[in-house]
Amino acid sequence: MLVLSVFFGLVPVAGIFIAVVLFAAIVLGKESLGPWVLWSLMPGVLIDVLFLKRWVKNAYKMSIKVLGALYIFHSVCALGLFMGVPIGDVFLGILVGIYSARRLSSNTGNSTNPKVYFQKAAIFSAAVMVVVCILLTLWAIAGRVQSSTFQTPLVTVTFTPFLFGAVVFVGRAFLVLLQYWLTMRVAEVTFNLCD
C-alpha cells in the first residue's frame, strides 16, 4: 500500500510543482522563484488529500493506459532524480513486475494467461527503457561525450566514435534486456507467492 500511495501520490505533487516552477521561471524569471517553489506543492498535496485513498483502493482496477502514462511520468522523474543514470528506471521495472502479478492475482475469475500478461508488462517496461536509452544517447552526443577523455587514478579512457558506439550499444542493450528479464522474473515470483 505504501508503494502504491507513493506511486499515485507523487504525480500531482511533482507534476504541479514542475509545471508551476517552469512557468514561473519562464514568465517571471529565475530571481522570483522563491515563493513559487513552496506554494506550488500545496495544490498537489490537496489533490492527494482528496483523492489518494480512492486511487490506492482502485489501484488494481485502473485502466492500463492511465497506468502506462503514470509509468512514463515516473520514468522521466527517475531519470532526472538519478541525474541521467537509468537506475531508477530499472527499479520501476521491478515495480511493474510486482504490480502486474498482484493485479492479475487480485482479479479472481480472470482467465488471462499469466505468462502472456507478464510478457506484455515486460515489453512495455523494456520499450520505455529503449526510449530512455535513446534520449540518453542523444544527450551524450549533444554533450560531445564521444570525443572526450575520462581520467581516473588507474586508467585514462578516450572515447573515440567507435568506442563510444560500442559502449552505447552494449550498455543500452544490456539495460533493455535486464529491464525485460527483471520485470518478467519479479512478476513470476510475485504471482507464485500470491497464490
Name the band, by pLDDT with cuts 50, 70 and 90, for residue 180. very high
The tens digit of pLDDT for each residue in 77-112 reads: 898 888 888 889 999 999 999 999 999 888 766 677
Average pLDDT over residues 153-162: 80
**For the CA atoms of the chain, what is the radius of gyration?**
20
Question: Both ends of the chain: CA-CA distance in Å?
Answer: 19
Give pLDDT, residue 146.
Answer: 65
What's the whole-number mean pLDDT along residues 158-187? 89
Q: 24: which residues sit within 8 A by CB, 6+ positions away?
A: 32, 33, 36, 40
CB atoms within 10 A of CB 155: 7
Residue with cell 532524480: 81
pTM of the predicted model as reported, rounded to 2 decimal places: 0.82
Confidence band, pLDDT 50/70/90 cuts, at residue 174: very high
- Bigger pLDDT: 182 vs 139: 182
Residue 25: per-residue pLDDT: 79
SS3 of 107-128: the string is CCCCCCCHHHHHHHHHHHHHHH
Distances (CA, A) of 112 to 115, 161, 184: 9, 47, 16
Long-range residue pairs from 88-94, CB within 8 A, at least 24 positions apart, any chain: 89/128, 89/129, 89/132, 89/179, 90/129, 90/175, 90/178, 90/179, 90/182, 92/125, 93/122, 93/125, 93/126, 93/129, 93/179, 93/182, 93/183, 93/186, 94/182, 94/183, 94/186
**pLDDT score, position 154:** 82
Average pLDDT over residues 116-144: 89
